[in-house]
Amino acid sequence: MMSRVKSLLMLALMVTCFLSEKAYATHAMGGDITYQCLGNNQYLLTLKFYRDCNGIPAPVGGSDLVFKITSPDCNANFTASFIPIPDSTEIITPICFAAVDRCTSTSGVFGIEKYVYQYTLDLSSYNGCGDDWSLEWDYCCRNNAITSLQSPGSQQIYLNTTIDNTIGTNNHSPEFRNEPTPFGCVLQEMTYNHGVRDLDGDSLVFSLAPARTVNGNTITYASGYSASQPIKTTTGVQIDPQTGSLTFTPSVQQVAVVSVLVEEYRNGVKINELIRDVQFSIVQCTNFLPTVSGFDSTDMFTIDACVGDTVCYTFYSDDADPGDSVYLSWNQGIVGAVFTTTNGSDLMAKATLCWVPTSSNIGPNLFSITARDNACDLNGVSSFGYKIQVFPSKDAELPQDFSVCSDTSVTISGNLPKGTVNSRWNVSGVMADTM
């Protein structure tokens, strides 16, 4: 144990040198912009901003919080300012209780803070106009410790999301529910999931995107990095387009920016896209990252279910470090599901998720589970994404039999429980649209 503590102290000293170069002038680690539809063409916008506590303070007002709103369809181009939410600042550094946080003491090494800002956007004067609304915010400057971008300390962080104001029903953007504080280890496979939840049950598609700066311009990557391979790895960076999980094995110590594009579809039509910008810190580790199994101890992270079924799945954690404890949590991605754990009872905790899907859940339902060990100074943290695809409970049936004469037409109609469901009639075992 003493040798492990000494190794961690050496790691802390090494990372201090690694992260502190010119850190006094830069600090932006990531962020995202999401929104809730309030009705009557009004939207509550939320900006989440993450800063390195080795740098200068987060934006508090003035021009730093001004963002741009545009819609070419509606000939609109204006600005507004996000408003800081009182008492919303939160320290989210993934360290053990015994470690000193940089956000509370200059003797600390690691420190990450989250700041929340909001603004109510009123588009009532553009009632029903514009499926191309764009919200853009940039802020100088990125963390100078970043190794994946050229001149990161002089580059703004750029965030954006879009709004389709022509949708007849309310739409909320997807929201990110896992904190972007990923620390990975050289030559260890890492999995990170953003914990995206969409309360409207829309289909989401995840992909990697270029890191951007002022006006949405793409930043030039450092040698060996690109938008599609934003981290130096042994086998490449993979992103699951269905769950958004990122999986990779870092090959060197680095601080890399990863931008993820989330596209939202309803009935096959794209209605929103947004980008989350995250900084990954890869360090030399003596601790192994914990893992979580797929559904019921399998390697499956996508599964099917039917409306009305009572479904219960168990997920198992593991950790290669003898004596480590692993704790599990989830992002509350599925409303109405019950998530229980054996945290504190089992050294390697397991979790159970039980749920009865309804017709409103037909389609994809995403959630994530995070495993966190008790290593010190840095906790080992991994997060995994899961998808339950819900289908209608059974075939539709006519209320009664009836006879139809030869060469006589008859029309049968039915209401689908959700627009994303496809259906066909089956008459005497023959699939047909018309007979």
Give the DSSP per-residue string, 377-427: SBPPEEEEEEEEEEE-SS----SS-----TT---------SSTT----EEE
Q: Name 116's bridge partners.
A: 48
State the average pLDDT over residues 239-267: 97
In the structure, what pLDDT confidence band is assigned to residue 12 with cuts at 50, 70 and 90? Answer: very low
- pLDDT value at position 55? 83
Predicted confidence (pLDDT) at residue 9 exceeds the cutoff of 50: no
Digit-coded pLDDT (tens) for 247-258: 999 999 999 999
Residue 276, CA distances (Å) to 10, 159, 164, 208, 272 in order: 32, 7, 19, 10, 14
Predicted confidence (pLDDT) at residue 11 exceeds the cutoff of 50: no
Ordered by start, the domain boundaries in the chain are 287-429
In the structure, what pLDDT confidence band is assigned to residue 1 with cuts at 50, 70 and 90? Answer: very low
In the structure, what pLDDT confidence band is assigned to residue 415 with cuts at 50, 70 and 90? Answer: low
Q: Where are the beta strands (DSSP E) in 62-169?
A: 66-71, 76-81, 83-84, 90-91, 112-122, 133-140, 156-163
Among the listed ranges 141-155, 340-354, 415-429, which one has the minimum average pLDDT value? Answer: 415-429
State the average pLDDT over residues 110-122: 97
Cα pseudo-dihedral 294, 299, 304, 305, rounded to 10: -40
Look up the CATH number of domain 287-429. 2.60.40.10
In the structure, what pLDDT confidence band is assigned to residue 56 with cuts at 50, 70 and 90? Answer: confident
In the structure, what pLDDT confidence band is assigned to residue 57 with cuts at 50, 70 and 90? Answer: confident
What pTM, to 2 d.p., does this model score? 0.86
Q: Name 190's bridge partners.
A: 248
Digit-coded pLDDT (tens) for 356-411: 999 999 999 999 999 999 999 999 999 999 999 999 986 556 666 666 676 666 66
Digit-coded pLDDT (tens) for 79-104: 999 999 999 999 999 999 999 999 99
Digit-coded pLDDT (tens) for 34-44: 999 999 999 99
Predicted confidence (pLDDT) at residue 219 exceeds the cutoff of 80: yes
State the average pLDDT over residues 96-117: 95
